[in-house]
Structure 1
Amino acid sequence: MIKNIIFDFGGVVMDWNPRYFFKDHFNDDEKMEHFLKNIATDEWNSEQDRGRTTKEGTEIQVKKHPEWEKEIRAYYDNWATMLKSDIPENVAVLRKLEHSKYELFGLTNWSLELFPYALDHYDFFKIFQDKIVVSGTEKLIKPDPKIWEVLLNRYQIKADESVFIDDNFKNIEVAKTLGFICIHIKEDTDLEKELKELGVEF
């Protein structure tokens, strides 16, 4: 029986993408993609999500790639522009679940420094009533199984009674091995339909 529904945030309820800033900054898609693939990489950003400060991460990368210093420093200076908006159709599903019989949780890879901005600007985060595990706080990031264990232990819930929703397939794969019921969010996913097919009642 499903008792809990766990939301990832980026790509599920929040539309974040560094291209929202760098597209205009570079005005050159090829140069932008080179920068994001080779300089300001997902792996580099993930270390800030794991708990490294944005200042430290910036200085490390500037030292490695001094010719890209201006762009590297622009990354976190313009982070709010990269957080374009919420994802309305999925937030609507979350709001429908607010007064349901299910407990709602968040499990997100997000910098400890930057997450408060989202909390301050998007009221739907209050629905979770602070039942949110943030990678930057825990010094653990998905897909490390330990971060799911933090969630399970802290809130005394069971994986096989919990739906886990994420847009990252690696995270979905690991969550499945831990016993979670999973929904992989893609561009065309109808989240409400997927949840209803699992037996979730609205």
Structure 2
Amino acid sequence: MQVVDTIIFDLGNVLIRWDPRFLYKQIFGDDVAAMEYFLTEVCHAEWNERQDKGGLWEDAVAEAIGRHPAHEANIRAYVDRWTEMISGPIEETVVILQQLREMNIRLLAMTNWSHESFPVAEELFHFLSWFEGIVVSGREKIMKPDPAIYKLIIERYQLNPSSTAFIDDSVKNVKAANAQGINGIHFQGAKDLRVQLKTFGIELPPTV
């Protein structure tokens, strides 16, 4: 059993619930097909990832409107109503984060997130201040699963990969961490996370 003394958290859908559908269900109502078309053809995942790599939202909106001018209002909503894509914290995981903090486990975060919108998240979620440091892809202009971002966090915080765990809801991001010698944990809910942490020598107190 490899004992872990440092944990890197992903943020979206590990500690913070994020999904553009939270917003666009309000806009499209019962027309699920129209919503899915919009999110796969207009403001699709690859388009969003450009901002996670450091692109500017102003440029992204202009580009999308150029492709789909009939959707201008809905495209602008992606930025103007961005906070409505966040339904709140994943409380069960925040409890785990608090418990790890009380155990003096070293805590870091690494997230694929736009540098323009991340300060809003920092205002919304007080627990983001608990991390020693947060690597934000939009600031670094590299994103998971690029090996460079894992190497960056290892070097910046002088980590020992073998005693570090990385928690992410994306299998490809976990595999990329493993490739750098970091112990990857695929997040599949707080209950499973507690079991996974125990295998690395971290036994958390039970919750009431």
Please report the TM-score for the alignment, with normalisation by the length of structure 2: 0.92
Give the alignment of 1:23-172 within 5 angstroms: 23-27=25-29, 28-129=31-132, 131-172=133-174
Which residue, 10, 13, 32 being the options, matches 2:12?
A: 10
Deviation at 1:84, TM superposition (A): 1.0
TM-align CA RMSD: 1.3
Does the 8 A contact of 2:10 with 2:167 survive in 1? yes
Q: C-alpha deviations, 1:22-78, integer Å up to 9, x for none?
A: 001011111101111111111110111111111111111111221221211111111
Q: After TM superposition, where is structure 1 displaced by more than 6 Å over at least 4 residues in a row? A: none
Aligned partner of residue 190 in structure 1, secondary structure:
helix
What is residue 185 of structure 1 aligned with on the other side? 187
Distance 1:98 1:158 in 2: 19
Q: C-alpha deviations, 1:124-143, integer Å up to 9, x for none?
A: 111103x1100011011111
Distance 2:190 2:116 in 1: 31
Q: C-alpha deviations, 1:68-94, integer Å up to 9, x for none?
A: 212111111110010110001111100
Q: C-alpha deviations, 1:172-197, integer Å up to 9, x for none?
A: 11111111111111257522222112
1:151 partner letter: I
What is residue 22 of structure 1 aligned with on the other side? 24
1:88 partner letter: E
Where does the alignment leave 5 or more consecutive residues of structure 1 unmatched?
Answer: none
Please report the TM-score for the alignment, with normalisation by the length of structure 1: 0.95
Aligned partner of residue 143 in structure 1, secondary structure:
coil
